[in-house]
Amino acid sequence: MTTRRAWAALIVISAAAFAFVTAELLPIGLLTVIAPDLERSRSQVGWLVSGYAIVVVLASVPLTLLTQRVPRRQLLTVTMTLFAAANLAGALAPSYEILAGSRLITALTQALFWSVCAPAVTGLFPVGKRGRVVALFGVGPALAPVLGVPLCTWLGQQDGWRTAFGLMAAFGLVAAAAVGALLPSSAPADGGAARGTAPSRPRFRVIVLVAAVSVTGFLTFVTYETPFLLDVSGFGAGALPSLLFVAGIAGTIGAISVSRTLDTWPVGSMLVPLAVGAFSLLGLYALGGSRVSTIVLLGAGGLAYTAFATALQNRMLQVAPGSTDLASAILGSAFNAGIAGGSLIGGTLLPPYGPRPLALIGGLLVVAALVVLAADTRRADRECNKPANHIH
């Protein structure tokens, strides 16, 4: 496969990831438009997002096992086609039940896509470039909250929410055609990233645990950062889009900047963002009343979260103890479990305690994940430096 074609495939799959993240978050931006049109409460429309995440958690591993022998070009082409069909069904849905059913199918396609996309695209490149490839792939999903969701929200407000779903359907069809044209049709086991480059079951278990705990910490705050910005920092509602844009742009910068260290410093590329994320959350708890501090810390948190997620994906491709597809599915389930867990913790604590303690709880969870990863790294270093036993 030519280098030019490989880079084109990377761009297309990154764009597909952009579409999936946008589609997942779409009901949030369109909540106030969908609810009255389908005669449902806002909380019921919100369930379309939480239910989506639960389906991804439950379906990732089973779907990956069922499709582990299907060539990736065919699998991803069919997945993107189903994504397009599900979003078209959502756009045409006459009732809430049909829309929920279309979201179920979309979630199933996302569960499968995230399990195989990283191994499929990184396998097209030499091992020495994979860190850079993973980081560039991460730009697509990082841009979704910054560009995709605001654009679809604006489009839905101007021309109806169904138009936004229709746009996602069209995007999916284009991506399906591009994937079919660019990816090679080879067996999954023949891909260059089908197995980890330094397989280790203990290391993999640690990053799964770290992913679940840290993402729970980040999302405990991020899910409810809007009330924090309004009630604690004292910003007006009109400032919220700009503030969220700052966090989103910082996240995109994080995905790009971490590309410089992934290949040479894979573990440090996880440790540093976790430390910055913990500092950001604890700083927001302590200094959230200062608007200037809040803006700086919000940007730092957005940068840290995306850089960490990118580094985590890169590390998975190294230490996966078996198939990287299955390892990616397990890691994706842990990630989405963290999203659901953070939302649940934050939603439970918000009514009685307000938004400020959410930054503290989230920060402490990220600190816990940082300690676990640092301890495992130190233990691994000791094992590597242990003198060999000699038989006399």
Question: Rounded to an integer, what distance in angstroms lies between the CA atom of residue 137 and that of residue 9?
Answer: 10
Residue 233 is classified by DSSP as S
Residues 311-324: tens digit of each pLDDT? 999 999 899 998 88
Residue 338 confidence (pLDDT) above 80:
yes
Q: Give domain status of residue 334, yes or no.
A: yes
Mean pLDDT of 374-389: 76
**Phi and psi for 355 in degrees, rounded to 5?**
-80, -25
Taking a C-beta distance cutoff of 8 angstroms, is the pair 296, 284 a contact? no
Question: Rounded to an integer, what distance in angstroms lies between the CA atom of residue 369 and that of residue 206?
Answer: 9
pLDDT of residue 365: 98
Q: Give domain status of residue 390, yes or no.
A: no
Same domain, 110 and 142: yes
Same domain, 179 and 53: yes
Residues 25-42: tens digit of each pLDDT? 888 778 778 888 888 886
Question: Rounded to an integer, what distance in angstroms lies between the CA atom of residue 184 and that of residue 301?
Answer: 38
For tokens 């910082």, the residue is 250
Burial of residue 391 (number of CB atoms within 10 Å: 0-12, 13-18, 19+): exposed
Same domain, 159 and 244: no
Helices (H), the chain: 3-29, 31-37, 42-66, 72-92, 96-122, 130-137, 139-143, 149-159, 161-182, 201-222, 225-227, 240-257, 268-287, 291-319, 324-353, 356-385
Q: Is 87 or 382 the better-scoring residue by pLDDT? A: 87
At which of 138, 166, 190 does a domain end? Answer: 190
pLDDT of residue 53: 82
Q: List the domain range (segments joined by +) for residue 41.
A: 3-190
Q: Which residue in 272, 359, 358, 339 sits closest to 21, CA to CA?
A: 339
Mean pLDDT of 102-119: 91
Residue 386 confidence (pLDDT) above 70:
no
- Split at pLDDT 50, 70, 90, the class of 336 is confident
Q: What is the mean pLDDT of the chain?
A: 88
The model's pTM: 0.83
Which range has the worst mean pLDDT, 69-73, 159-163, 240-244? 240-244
**Range with the largest mean pLDDT of 123-132, 201-210, 375-384:** 201-210
Query: Taking the mean position of all CA atoms in its chain, how far away is CA 71?
Result: 24
Same domain, 338 and 294: yes
Same domain, 168 and 242: no
Say which amino acid occupies 63.
L
Taking a C-beta distance cutoff of 8 angstroms, is the pair 311, 93 a contact? no
- Split at pLDDT 50, 70, 90, the class of 52 is confident
Same domain, 244 and 275: yes
pLDDT of residue 281: 98
Q: Which residue in 182, 181, 149 sits closest to 168, CA to CA?
A: 149
Q: Give domain status of residue 196, yes or no.
A: no
Same domain, 145 and 244: no
Return the SS3 of 391: coil
- Split at pLDDT 50, 70, 90, the class of 385 is low
- Split at pLDDT 50, 70, 90, the class of 189 is low
Q: Give domain status of residue 195, yes or no.
A: no
Residue 54 confidence (pLDDT) above 90:
no
pLDDT of residue 376: 92
Specify the number of domains making up the chain: 2
At which of 129, 156, 190 does a domain end? Answer: 190
Residue 1 confidence (pLDDT) above 70:
no
At which of 190, 220, 249 does a domain end? Answer: 190
pLDDT of residue 390: 45
First to last CA, the chain: 53
Residues 160-177: tens digit of each pLDDT? 899 999 999 999 999 999
Residues 267-312: tens digit of each pLDDT? 999 999 999 999 999 999 999 999 999 999 999 999 999 999 999 9
